[in-house]
Amino acid sequence: MYDAGKIMTGLVVFLVILTLPFWYSGAMGKGGARPEVKLPEGEKKCVESKEYMRDSHMDLLNQWRDAVVREGKHTYVSEGGARHEMSLTNSCMKCHADRAQFCDRCHVYLSLNPFCWDCHLDRKQTGQGAK
């Protein structure tokens, strides 16, 4: 006779190990385990709250792109009333000038490779970045 209990335990352990990368990336978005990133010096606030940015910066970027490309709008008004130009290069990368120490830190960790930089410049490429 097989021991059903042991088989179940083995199966559960196996499944957890198999899905470990998934648990990790899930926790990251919620502020759990994640790599160290270099935040901009001399700036205190992002476009929206840190929590929102952590979870939803990709959605915000899509929103910005659609607003600019489809509706010809260029100004974003944040929850707190601050105004920002809806631009990956001129806003996000102006504050987060060091892409390698910020955006790439998380994305490399997650094996993500957003293709945005095929077309959009970061500040180093525009020659306006931090060294």
Question: Which residues contact ligand HEC (rule: CB under 6 A)?
Answer: 28-29, 34, 37, 39-40, 43-47, 50, 53-54, 57-58, 60-61, 64-65, 68-69, 84, 86-89, 91-92, 95-96, 102-103, 106-107, 110, 112, 114-116, 118-120
Tokens representing residue 23 in the block? 């648990």
Instruction: Assess contact for 101 and 78: CB atoms under 8 A.
Output: no
Start-to-end CA distance of the chain, whole Å, equals 68
When the beta carbons of 116 and 124 are compared against ligand HEC, the nearer one is: 116
CB atoms within 10 A of CB 19: 11
State the minimum distance, in angstroms, from the CB of residue 14 to ligand HEC. Answer: 25
Nearer to ligand HEC, 16 or 100 (CB): 100
Q: Pseudo-torsion of CA 57, 75, 68, 45, nearest 10°?
A: -20
CB 92, min distance to ligand HEC, A: 3
CB 86 within 8 A of CB 78: no
By beta-carbon proximity to ligand HEC, the closer residue of 65 and 124 is 65
